[in-house]
Structure 1
């Protein structure tokens, strides 16, 4: 069985919303940050898609771009909230 990386990326992005918080990185990136404790390949793909800052650094968190924050909220509601 071959994994669907787009579905994995959507789930990781939704989970980043769950763990996101506003911080001093908001000034630098204009958005929220989240711990980068998810699959590194998925984080790299999200960065390539322009949804998060580069996860390859010494920080323990990543910043969500404006689009990443908006999309993470949408996916969180879609995947994990009751209607």
Structure 2
């Protein structure tokens, strides 16, 4: 039985369908969750919350990275680069995906 985690709790696939929620196709989910994971594991020379320097390691399927780059979400740089840069559009999309999947964003410890 599939269980879905949403912001308000856990729901089975049957309960989710009853609430009018549609399943995300696997190919779309891989791309969405890859962007969300890149966002959550981003780094910079300065700190995690740098506005200008949002990078993530390239440890994801290259086909997915290529699609995200074509959509203007990331820049892979050269083929030798070990990390990608997440554009502002990618950051905004990733934040929306965290909401969609009920994942809490990082909080600043200032």
TM-score bracket relative to the smaller structure? 0.7 to 0.9
Check if 1:73 corresponds to 2:95: yes
Q: Give unpaired runs (5+ residues) of structure 1.
A: 25-29
Q: 1:5 Cα shift?
A: 2.6
Q: Give unpaired runs (5+ residues) of structure 2.
A: 1-24, 47-51, 105-110
Q: Which has the higher contact order (CA 8 A, sep 6+)?
A: 1
Equivalent in the alignment of 1:51:
73
Query: 1:31·1:65 contact (CA, 8 Å) conserved in 2?
Result: no
Q: Which is richer in helix?
A: 1
Q: Which is richer in strand?
A: 2
Q: TM-score, normalised by structure 1?
A: 0.73
Query: 1:44·1:55 contact (CA, 8 Å) conserved in 2?
Result: no
Structure exhibiting the larger radius of gyration computed from Cα positions: 2
Pairwise CA RMSD: 2.2
Equivalent in the alignment of 2:11:
none
Query: How many equivalent residue pairs?
Result: 75
